[in-house]
């Protein structure tokens, strides 16, 4: 009598961890477009600065091109890539009294999302730290080589990229305010002002 065949081999096709671990491995780069543009503008500005004499003899054209790349980089990093890649955001706001306030926010994320964006966070911080260092090297090279016509452009590069670096370091270390707290505080202030206005207008209406 024939014995039925028994499959005694181990099924290792799914032996890669639970579903959460699989999702984390697949989601290492959750925002590829934002990650690309986080490095594209700042690297393009550096490469253009180094090679502009090979492509064009016009100082004005090189100056404007690099300045535009630096401006695009500052805007995209400040308003887009920081929020998407590391959940940080900083800006300046003016209240109703005309006073200027700097706001630094750090979005609270779960452990799973933080692990899935580990690669993006590394790319973000490496690009944010290394590029200002490179522009600082350019500053001393232009100073010692007496290429003073490039000095203004190099100072702009250092200023814009250092501003983003300072803002995000402040968000990471000292400005951990969630968006919900800022929104609730703003709404409570508005409701208090409306209640105060109603309380001051009621006696005058009765008179």
Question: What is the pTM assigned to this prediction?
Answer: 0.66
How does the average pLDDT of the chain come out, rounded? 75
Residue 178 dihedral angles phi and psi, to the nearest 5°: -75, 155
Q: What is the pLDDT of residue 112?
A: 47
pLDDT band at 200 (very low <50, low <70, confident <90, very high): low
Q: From the CA atom positions of the chain, what is the Rg in Å? A: 26
Buried/exposed code over 154-170 (b: 16+ C-beta within 10 A; e: otherwise)? bebbbebbeebbebbbe
175, 86 in Cβ contact below 8 A? no
> For the chain, what is the HEC assignment?
CCCCCCCCCCCCCCCCCCHHHHHHHHCCCCCHHHHHHHHHHHHHHHHHHHHHHHHCCCHHHHHHHHHHHHHHHHHHHHHHHHHHHCCEEEEEEECCCCCEEEEEEECCCCHHHHHHCHHHHHHHHHHHHHHHHHHHHHHHHHHHCCCHHHHHHHHHHHHHHHHHHHHHHHHHHCCCECHHHHHHHHHHHHHHHHHHHHHHHHHHHHC
Dihedral (CA of 94, 96, 98, 99) sign:
negative
Q: What is the pLDDT of residue 13?
A: 36
Lowest mean pLDDT among 46-55, 63-72, 152-161, 167-176: 167-176
Q: 128 Cβ partners below 8 Å, 6+ apart?
A: 77, 161, 164, 165, 168
Q: What is the pLDDT of residue 64?
A: 94
Q: What is the pLDDT of residue 201?
A: 53
Report the pLDDT averaged over residues 64-89.
92
Residue 22 has pLDDT above 60, yes or no: no
């Amino acid at each position: 009598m024939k014995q039925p065949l028994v499959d005694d081999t181990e099924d290792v096709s799914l032996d890669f961890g639970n579903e959460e671990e699989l999702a984390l491995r697949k989601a290492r780069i959750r925002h590829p477009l934002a990650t690309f543009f986080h490095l594209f503008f700042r690297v393009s500005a550096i490469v253009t600065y180094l090679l502009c004499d090979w492509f064009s003899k016009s100082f004005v054209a090189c100056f404007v091109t690099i300045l535009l790349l630096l401006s695009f980089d500052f805007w995209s990093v400040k308003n887009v890539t920081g929020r998407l890649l590391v959940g940080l955001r900083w800006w300046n706001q003016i209240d109703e009294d005309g006073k200027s306030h700097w706001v630094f926010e750090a979005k609270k994320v779960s452990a799973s999302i933080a692990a899935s964006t580990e690669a993006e966070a590394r790319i973000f911080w490496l690009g944010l730290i290394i590029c200002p260092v490179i522009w600082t090297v350019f500053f001393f090279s232009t100073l010692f080589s007496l290429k003073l016509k490039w000095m203004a452009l190099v100072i702009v590069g250092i200023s814009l990229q250092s501003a983003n670096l300072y803002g995000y370091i402040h968000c990471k270390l000292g400005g951990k305010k969630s968006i919900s707290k800022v929104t609730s505080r703003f709404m409570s202030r508005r409701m208090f002002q409306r209640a105060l206005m109603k309380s001051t207008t009621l006696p005058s209406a009765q008179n």
